[in-house]
Amino acid sequence: MKRLDQVLNAENIPAELELVVNDVIVACKDIAFKLRQGDLAGILGATEDENVQGETQKKLDVISNDLLKDVLVSNPFVRGVGSEEEDYTIAANADGKYLVTFDPLDGSSNIDVNLSVGTIFSILEAQDNTPGDNQEVFLQNGRKQVAAGYVLYGPSALLVMTTGNGVNIFTLDTTVGEFVLTKSGIQIPEDTAEFAINMSNQRFWEPEMKQYIDDCLQGEEGPLGKRYNMRWVASMVAEVHRILMRGGIFMYPYDNRDPSKAGKLRLMYEGNPMSMIVEQAGGASSTGRMDIMDVQPEGIHDRVPVVLGSKNEVAKVVAYHNK
């Protein structure tokens, strides 16, 4: 079976990029190990701090963030890092070419109940000499990503990633501590009858999204003409992975709970990397009105409405928004 480095070599990506990916993975393996230890390692529970998003940080949010940050800022090819858990972007090496953004532990409300969580990462190239502690250098749209991926810490730890040459899945072989290729050329089925959305926010959605879900709930008798099933893991990594494996549509739409936040998920740490993976697997990814990867970020922590998954179902949601 092929190891991650062998697969990346075959994709002919620059050696420096490979070394950056490698460091992300070194940190993820450590996170995977700590998650396995769980309560035995004293890592569960919350801290007393809030992150820049106004969310209480879990101990493991902080530990995972530090692991990724520490390994990446000492990589000579990294200009800077941006994290969901950091107020500002952090400078690494002035000569470094790559910018890494990450959500160190996505779905962190699942940590203390022993359910799936994940790490999401995105890699961009610096376009000029701006240092990494200036967020401007990061503010590129998702089409500029040179690599994106996630590690799903589930029953097995899986690395799912793309460098723009399709999507590969690697499984962590815990007997040797290496990710080995277990699936390649992933293709998301174009049609689906399975949606994932947090229905408790329904009253805060825009009318277009309300209408689509109302129509799904009407099943065979409704305008969409099929019976839908629903899933909600509250862990985007797990939802996206389910969609890669068997199709589906995942939505965290715009809602007006807080008018300053255009949805819950963040463009640079969640929206863009997941969109690159989904598109590379033949799926689609939209805000409901435009492709997520065409959204121009204005700030490192920008939020974005997310509708992604099976191509034909995403097209239906977009059509509701265009009506």
List interacting residues with ligand AHM (CB under 6 A): 55, 84, 103, 106-109, 198, 234-236, 252, 264
Kindly tell me which of 86 and 106 has the beta carbon lying closer to Mg ion: 106
Q: Under a CB-based contact definition with an 8 Å cutoff, are residues 286 and 307 in contact? A: yes
Of the candidate spans 102-110, 122-130, 216-224, 253-261, the one that interacts with Mg ion by CB under 5 A turns out to be 102-110
Choosing among Mg ion, ligand AHM, none, which partner's interface includes residue 235 (Cβ < 5 to 8 Å by kind)? ligand AHM
Does 239 sit near Mg ion (CB under 5 A)?
no
Length in residues, the chain: 323
Q: Under a CB-based contact definition with an 8 Å cutoff, are residues 130 and 137 in contact? A: yes
Kindly tell me which of 18 and 55 has the beta carbon lying closer to ligand AHM: 55
Which of 103, 194, 279, 313 is in the footprint of Mg ion by CB under 5 A? 103
Kindly tell me which of 34 and 264 has the beta carbon lying closer to ligand AHM: 264
Choosing among ligand AHM, Mg ion, none, which partner's interface includes residue 254 (Cβ < 5 to 8 Å by kind)? none
Token pair of 59 as six digits? 């101990």
Kindly tell me which of 96 and 297 has the beta carbon lying closer to ligand AHM: 297
CB of 139 to ligand AHM, least distance (A): 20
Does 194 sit near Mg ion (CB under 5 A)?
no
Choosing among ligand AHM, Mg ion, none, which partner's interface includes residue 65 (Cβ < 5 to 8 Å by kind)? none
CB of 209 to ligand AHM, least distance (A): 14
CB of 235 to ligand AHM, least distance (A): 5
- CA 189/CA 306 separation, integer angstroms: 19
Strands annotated E in the chain: 46-50, 56-58, 78-83, 90-91, 98-106, 117-125, 147-153, 157-162, 168-173, 178-183, 194-196, 229-230, 249-252, 284-286, 306-309
Q: Which residue is nearest to ligand AHM (CB)?
A: 236
Token pair of 295 as six digits? 């959204």
End-to-end Cα, the chain, rounded Å = 49
Going from the C-alpha of 139 to that of each of 82, 135, 214, 267, the distances in angstroms are 11, 7, 36, 10
Does 106 sit near Mg ion (CB under 5 A)?
yes
Of the candidate spans 52-60, 96-104, 160-168, 280-288, the one that interacts with Mg ion by CB under 5 A turns out to be 96-104
Residues that bind Mg ion (CB under 5 A): 103, 106
